[in-house]
Structure 1
């Protein structure tokens, strides 16, 4: 049985609407591309107009279609062939606002993914045949192209011009596409369109002798194409690690910082052809101001400009005002949240209706900390959305990085954080220590047991403003738990993200000062591993987390082979 048939079976046999647990044993990335909830991260933060009409071109097996049905009034999804169209109809059979069609070209049999794109690239007039299947009066508020544009070897302008005619007066086109100069490809990763390393860097257009069709774009090529077809109002988003499974989304108004590795995980479908680790290159890329040129993917939001409907409003009323997005779709419906920056405000909201409780918990934690006299960034709760002011001051972790060679200052910050952890909650008797319920070694020096331990009182979740620490985004807590667990997390993640501190203040000294004997440290490490496994659903999302590593020895060997 082929992969397509297997995907269809997963859809047919699923009753919950979420397939992550069903496919967790699969090894091929294609299953997760079509069925994982993480795919929704590309658009689940975007503010679609209520009641809008959307056209999705190249819907695959419907990974994104259900999201569009939730957010829009009516969705027309066009799959690459009838087999996939039937799968989408089955997957969303309870949706009454969805119409599913398949690609159709007179005289062309479309069976595989590539048949349509190959056919129109061979004869651009077939683009007109395809577009002729739409009614002259069809107009859409949104047209979505996800991983479609780069599949064409030619005819990109003709294809887009035809779709532009289907846009409503203030309609938008959202185009997610690969960057042929993406950093992962410059590091040797096999390219999505061709499956061949470095092909796009050489131009990679059409059939280049390896039986490959397709043309991925550079940033300037994409923008020139958009202008040429009349989409003169446009804004680029840069999803990281790429458009398939975004964890963060940047824009030209909010580009990544040097500490990008603290928040973004970089996966590799196949790391055997790599000659460098992209994660290690981002600091230099950012320092030299070339991130937009080497972003792995683009998400272009575009609309017709002054050619027909007047100039696009640059104030943000027309194009999205969002400048940055952080996503936790991998956590599942109850815990998946997004944080977006819009102008001078930051919003945190649930990605699913089930996530309202998590938003309420964040707000409750911050308010409780404030009531204990701890400095926090002001949070405002309206419904299930938390708003807070955008702060330009550095995160404490970033500040600590600038003083990483100053032993006394680093030690002083650790002491401040420990004092604030102790201040955050009342103590309870040691007999109420929850962790004693599931550890064998109960006679350790647990230190103070707090009624509530706020787990994120660490440098990544606070700002450093005029010499003071201000907390924000306190999502997780433990009741009747050792205060040392919060301090353990502070120490652990500080040394992971700023390892050079070890040169001036060895972690062994810090452990000793705060009473972390080795047995206690290992218990907390096991607790942390359990927490991370649970919150990130490592079992269900194994396909992603198993692909995070690189083979240093193989990369060196690959580099040496280039000399032969």
Structure 2
């Protein structure tokens, strides 16, 4: 319990020191906006549609986006019925999820403004207590099953006490609050993450190559590479350390790779497609990368460097040997990009009987709304297909200087011919709505096997072949952060390029049909995400061509 001699009650679930000292960290005016939004939103749950609707830029997405919780969802069994100490609660995005999951949560936040927002966001959760205090001054007379340090260790030098080893001191404090056999969950950006080599700005200083060039000072925020951070945890007395990989990073992940992916067992999914798929979900992309993250990924995975070059480091550590933090059979937890709350799902890749099984479920099965809209959402379990994706072969093609429309048409021909074979009178059965190259595996004998066909038309309605080819090509091309310079006179506006490729394939996309395809996709995306994209948004999309090939 919090020390009554040190803390007084500020509000229902908010405590603060009786003699509080100034705390300088702030995100500025955005915190006023967050405070107003949270205070005036009746439903502040993790999947709150009202909070999602208040997102307007990167800071609000970071604080209000429900995908913050995806980082911790694989640890549901570790958290349920347990006590949790959250060191560095911020504005309460993870606090809210912890409060909905764990039996009891004590959330610490040094900033008075942020602590107030976190408390307000959890005001209806009796299990949550927010304390406005610094980590080094925290006074509690209890220990916890789980302690979290999410995006906090990097500030130990800037805001911690004057010590020779501030990171070691912070880890010692965190460990001191753990029960025997408890777990520390620690997430931080990777100093040597692949995107930082490619030119993304350092996450705290905001300058490209700042971390890669190791320019941190004694009072600046600091990140670490994998080996260095593992050493800090071992020196702090953590005997059992497991690494998880949040993709694209720990801040707004869509996927979490678990230790089972890296233990050498044959029954494990290929991690390459998950890494590739995550790049387009990065909410802080560089304005320009000096090389293709997508093209570099396969070699990185083949050479066993994924754990070292991931963008974020995420460890579950325990003082007790062998204390696993999650189900050892869980290989991957995948959640996907922003969706309407009723469609947010969890896809688990789990080892079962020497193979990998894919299991899918809604995070909130009881939410209404799925019965409406032009398409139906169908979740089904299925076996994992250990085959390359059709889309994989596009990665080297479009990253080779001099690619052109003809090359793209040759790449797409096998997929399009398959769909043609299923069409009658230019119409496909509705189950092929989502049959894109990203959902197509290629078996050893060249057979195409589609998976995760979760969207289909309602009531047996057919769907135009042109539309399925349009959305498959558009998705496949928009998937790339950047591409190599194409041949002269090759269009880079995505719509023009798609129409050109379809023309080469004998599926002309006349202006009227193009408008129809855009209208259908607008309706589809509005249903799935509650965001209506304008026609201009489609028209303005272009491939980003690297200056360096």
TM-score computed with the length of structure 1 as normaliser: 0.70
Aligned equivalent of 1:198: 209
Question: Are 2:322 and 1:312 equivalent residues in the alignment?
Answer: yes
Question: Are 2:360 and 1:348 equivalent residues in the alignment?
Answer: yes
Aligned equivalent of 2:192: 181
Paired with 1:273 and 1:407, the residues of 2 have a C-alpha distance of 27
Q: Deviations over 1:13-48 (max 9, x none)?
A: 2223234455344x4x32322222232222234323
CA contact (8 A) 1:235 1:319 kept: no
Question: Are 2:453 and 1:474 equivalent residues in the alignment?
Answer: yes
CA change 1:491–1:149 in 2 (3 A) is closer
Q: Secondary structure at the match of 2:338?
A: helix
Aligned equivalent of 2:25: none
For residues 82-121 of structure 1, the aligned pairs below 5 Å read 82-104=112-134
CA change 1:458–1:188 in 2 (3 A) is closer
Paired with 1:255 and 1:392, the residues of 2 have a C-alpha distance of 7
Q: Secondary structure at the match of 1:64?
A: helix
CA change 1:304–1:395 in 2 (3 A) is same
Aligned equivalent of 1:418: 420
CA drift of 1:328 comes to 2.7
Paired with 1:539 and 1:407, the residues of 2 have a C-alpha distance of 30
CA contact (8 A) 2:522 2:532 kept: no
CA drift of 1:414 comes to 2.6
For residues 92-491 of structure 1, the aligned pairs below 5 Å read 92-104=122-134, 127=136, 129-130=137-138, 133-135=139-141, 138-153=142-157, 154-207=165-218, 212-251=219-258, 253=262, 256-257=271-272, 260-262=275-277, 264-267=279-282, 269=284, 271=286, 278=293, 281-283=296-298, 285-286=300-301, 288-305=303-320, 311-312=321-322, 320-328=328-336, 330-343=338-351, 344-354=356-366, 386-398=380-392, 411-420=413-422, 447-448=426-427, 452-465=430-443, 466-479=445-458, 480-484=461-465, 485-491=467-473
Question: Are 2:520 and 1:527 equivalent residues in the alignment?
Answer: yes
Aligned equivalent of 2:33: 6
Paired with 1:213 and 1:490, the residues of 2 have a C-alpha distance of 45
CA contact (8 A) 2:503 2:509 kept: no
CA contact (8 A) 1:61 1:88 kept: yes
Paired with 2:543 and 2:449, the residues of 1 have a C-alpha distance of 36
CA contact (8 A) 1:55 1:142 kept: yes
Higher mean Cα deviation, 236-245 or 530-539?
530-539
CA contact (8 A) 1:330 1:537 kept: no
CA drift of 1:317 comes to 8.0
CA drift of 1:164 comes to 1.9
Aligned equivalent of 1:77: 107
Paired with 1:292 and 1:317, the residues of 2 have a C-alpha distance of 18
Q: Deviations over 1:514-559 (max 9, x none)?
A: 565453244213422442354244469xxxx9xx999868x78xxx
Aligned equivalent of 1:23: 54
CA contact (8 A) 2:389 2:440 kept: yes
CA drift of 1:168 comes to 2.6
1:58 to 88, 98, 105: 88
TM-score computed with the length of structure 2 as normaliser: 0.72
Paired with 2:52 and 2:173, the residues of 1 have a C-alpha distance of 40
CA contact (8 A) 1:193 1:214 kept: yes
Aligned equivalent of 2:17: none
Paired with 1:5 and 1:213, the residues of 2 have a C-alpha distance of 26
CA drift of 1:281 comes to 4.4
CA drift of 1:81 comes to 2.8
CA drift of 1:486 comes to 3.0
Paired with 1:165 and 1:455, the residues of 2 have a C-alpha distance of 54
CA change 1:318–1:297 in 2 (3 A) is closer
* Structure 2 alignment gaps of length 5 or more: 1-27, 158-164, 263-268, 399-406, 491-497
Paired with 1:81 and 1:407, the residues of 2 have a C-alpha distance of 56
Q: Secondary structure at the match of 1:299?
A: strand
Aligned equivalent of 1:426: none
CA drift of 1:148 comes to 0.4
CA drift of 1:146 comes to 0.8
Instruction: Please give the root-mean-square deviation of Cα atoms over the aligned residues, in Å.
Output: 4.1
CA drift of 1:294 comes to 2.2
CA change 1:356–1:387 in 2 (3 A) is farther
Paired with 1:53 and 1:82, the residues of 2 have a C-alpha distance of 23
Q: Secondary structure at the match of 1:201?
A: coil
CA contact (8 A) 1:235 1:302 kept: yes
Paired with 1:496 and 1:273, the residues of 2 have a C-alpha distance of 16
The total of aligned residue pairs comes to 464
* Structure 1 alignment gaps of length 5 or more: 105-115, 117-126, 306-310, 367-384, 423-445, 557-564
